[in-house]
Structure 1
Amino acid sequence: MTVPLLSHVSTRSVDPADRIDFWEEYNRQALVGLTCSSYSPDGLLATQSNFRLGGLRLAEITGNEHVIERNPRTCQELPKDSVFVSLLTHGQAVFFHEGGCLTVKAGDLVLYDTRRSYLFGFPSAMRQLLVDIPREVFAERCASGDVSAPLLFGRGSATGGAMVSAIKSLLADWATGRGNGDSVQTEATVLDLVRALTAPRLGDESALPAMSSRLAMAQDYIDRHLSDPRLSAERVAEAIGVSARHLSRVFQQSGVSPARHILDQRLAKAREQLADPSSRHLTVAEIAHRWGFPSQAHFTRVFRGRFGQTPGETRRLA
C-alpha cells in the first residue's frame, strides 16, 4: 500500500539553537499552533510524519523529553477548531488543562478540544499517534456533546481497552503502510470506534460499535494473543463484549469463522518464522508452541494441509 504521506520533518538536521522555532512553525502549518520547551541538554530531538486518512489527518510524532503548550493567547491568535485523539504508544505524559491534570501512560488515549488551553508534558522519550478530527466531522459522526474537558480512555473497562487497542492497530498499520489501503473504510472504522468510546461519556448511552468496528477489535485482540494456547472464539467474544454467536456474525464480512481466522493467523506467523534465518536456533516444536499449537504433530498436520508441505520442508526451502 502506498501511504498518503503529506509531510515529514526531523529537528535532527536543524541547528540546535533553531530547533524549537522550527518545530513550532512546522506544527503551526501542519497541525496546530503551540509553544514548545525542551529541558534536554541535546535540545529538542523530534520527528513528525503527517498522513491523509480519508478526510482526517494522522500525525505520528516521536521525541525526547519536552513540553508543548497551547495557552489562551495561542488559542486566540492561532485558532483551531478540531478534536484531537492522542494515543500515546511509548513513554508517559502529563496533560494539564483548566480543570486539573491527567497522568497518561503508554496505551492510553486522550481526546481533547483544540479550542481549549492545555499543556502536554513528556518527561522521557515518547511516541504518539494523533488524529485531527474537524469539529463538524466529530459532531456529525462521533458525538454532538461539547468536549468541555479532556477524556482519558484505556483503563477500567475491558471493552474500552479493546476499542483503544483497535484504534492503535488501525492507525499504526496506516502509518507504516500495512493497512488495507481503503482510506474511506479505515476512516469510518476509526470514527465509529471514537464514537463508541466518547458518546456515552458525552450523554449518549446508546452508542455501540458497528460490525466493522467489532471486527477490527476482534482481529486486534487475536493478533495480540496468538501465542496463548487458550485463545478461542469464546475468549475473543468476551474481550470485545459480545456473545459467541454474535462474534460469528461479525466475522461473516471477512468470509471466515473466528476459529478459522485464529488458525490462519497462527499458521501465517509460524510460516514466517520458519523462513526467518534469525529463527534457525528454534526447533519446529518450539515454533509450534510459540504460536499456540497444542503439539508438534497437530501443527505439522494443519500446516501441511494449508501449505502443501511440512514445516521442515518449508524451513529447508527457505
Structure 2
Amino acid sequence: MFVLRRVGGAALLTAERTPFMTDKVVLSTHDMPAQLDDLARFRTWHDMYVAAYCEFDLSRVGETPFAATTEARQIGGVNVAETTAAVERLVRDRRQVATAVRSNFCLAFSRNNSPIVQAQLGRETVHRLDSPVLVTESETGDIRQPGGFDFFLIDLPAKLLLERVAHAFDLVSQPLDAAPQASAHLKRYLAILPQLAADKAESALTTHVESTLIDLVSLVLGANGDSAELARMRGLRAARLEEIFALIRKHYADPEFSTAHVARRLGLTPRYVNDLLQETGTGFSERVTELRLQAARKMLADRGKDRLKVIDIAYAVGFNEVSYFNRRFRQRFGEKPTEVRGDG
C-alpha cells in the first residue's frame, strides 16, 4: 500500500502492495512546516521521495527556491504518480543499486517542453518530448530534465513486466517510438484513473486495472508473439471500455447523450461501442438509465432539494418524460419517487 509513515517527525511515503486502489497521496513542499528553510524543504522532500521509490541523489535547479509536488496512487503492485519538482537531475550509483531491496522498472512520460535525457546500460538517449522513457532501478543511471522534473511515472515490479516483455532490459535508454497508438491509449487510461479509484473497495477492479496498466505498458514497449496478442486483446479493449465508462459517467445526464456521441468522441463506430458494452452484460441504455435513477434517488432523498418538483429532478438527471421516469423508478426501487423524499 502507498502510505505515509511518520519517521522522526517527518512524513515518509512507503510503497507496499495492496489488493485495493489507494486514495491519492500528495507529497508537497506546500504542506511542510513554514519554519523549514529552503535546504530543509529540499532534504525532507528528497527523503520522502526516496522512501517511496528507491535510493538516489537529486540535484536542484540552480538557485531556484525549492518546490515540489508528487501525487501518487498504488494499484496492486503498480504505482502511478505525477511529479513536478525544481530538480533537474537524478543519479543512482553502484552502492545504491547494490543495497537496494527491490528491482523495479519505471516508464515515464514528460509533461512539459523539456526532453528527458537518460544514460543507463552504456547508452545515452535524448528522448523525444512525446516518447515514453523506460528506466530500470537495478542498474546505475543518470536522468536529467533541464529546467525541472515534470512527468508521469508508472512504477512496476520487474517480474510483472519481464513476464510480458522478456527483452525489457534491451529497451532501457532507447528511443521508444514504435507504438504511438499504445502510448496514446496509456495516457488516456492514466487520465481516467481517478474516476476508477472511486471503486477502490472492489479488489476485482483493482486486479483488472493493474493488469490493464501492465498490458498497455507492454504494448508501448513492443511486446511480441503471444504476449503481444494477449496484451492487445486485454489492454486495448479494456482501455477503450474504461474510456467509454468514463464518458457515460460524465455525460449521462444529457438527454441527447447516445452511443453515437461516445463513438464520435473516441473515434470508434457505434457498433463497436455497443459490442464492448454488451460483453460486460450491461448495454448502453441500461447503464445510462441506472446512473440517472441513482442520481434522481439521491436528489429526492436530499432535504436540501425538497423544493424541487419530481419533474424537475427527472429532467435534471436526463429523463425526457416524467411518466417514463416514474415507471422506471418504481421498477428499480419498489417505491414511487414521492415516497423517498427527504430520506437522506
TM category, shorter: 0.5 to 0.7
Structural mapping, 1:152-301, within 5 Å = 164-170=187-193, 173-174=196-197, 178=200, 180-182=202-204, 183-199=206-222, 208-210=232-234, 212-237=238-263, 244-252=270-278, 254-276=280-302, 284=310, 287-301=313-327
1:233·1:244 contact (CA, 8 Å) conserved in 2? Answer: yes
Provide the C-alpha distance between the structure 2 equivalents of 1:280 and 1:96, rounded to a whole number of angstroms.
55
**What is the rounded CA distance, in whole Å, between the counterparts of 2:132 and 2:201 in structure 1?**
23
Please say which structure displays the higher CA radius of gyration: 2
Whether 1:25 and 2:47 are equivalent positions in the alignment is: yes
* CA drift at 1:132: 0.7
1:113 to 135, 145, 148: 135
Query: How much has 1:31 moved relative to structure 2?
Result: 0.8
| Alpha-carbon distance in 1 for matches of 2:296, 2:176 | 39
Rounded to whole Å, the distance in 2 between the matches of 1:135 and 1:208 is 20
Q: Secondary structure at the match of 2:342?
A: helix
Which deviates the most, 178-187 or 243-252?
Answer: 243-252
Mapped partners of 2:167, 2:186: distance in 1: 20
Which deviates the most, 304-313 or 185-194? 304-313
Query: Which of 61, 72, 78 is the matching residue for 1:57?
Result: 78
- Post-superposition shift, 1:232? 2.4
Q: Cα–Cα, structure 1 residues 299 and 27, in superposed 2: closer, same or farther, change >3 Å? A: same
Q: What CA distance in whole angstroms lies between the structure 2 residues aligned with 1:290 and 1:117?
A: 54
218-227 vs 7-16, which moves further: 7-16
1:253-305 per-residue CA deviation (whole Å, 9 max, x = no partner) reads: 53322321222123223433444466667665555445433344544443333
Amino acid at match of 1:24: H
> Any gaps of 5 or more consecutive residues in structure 1?
none
TM-score by length of 2: 0.62
1:134 aligns with 2:157: yes
Contact in 2 for aligned 1:66/1:121 (Cα 8 Å): no
| Cα distance change on mapping 1:60 and 1:213 into 2, 3 Å | closer
The 8 Å contact of residues 112 and 147 in structure 1, kept in 2 or not, is answered as yes
Structure 1 residues 119 and 294, CA gap change in structure 2 (3 angstroms): farther
- % same residue: 21
Distance 1:92 1:5 in 2: 26
Supply the AA of the counterpart residue of 1:199.
G
Give 1:87 shift.
7.4
Quickly say closer, same or farther: Cα 1:97–1:298, change in 2 above 3 A: farther
Q: Cα RMSD over matched residues?
A: 4.6
Query: 2:121: which partner in 1?
Result: none
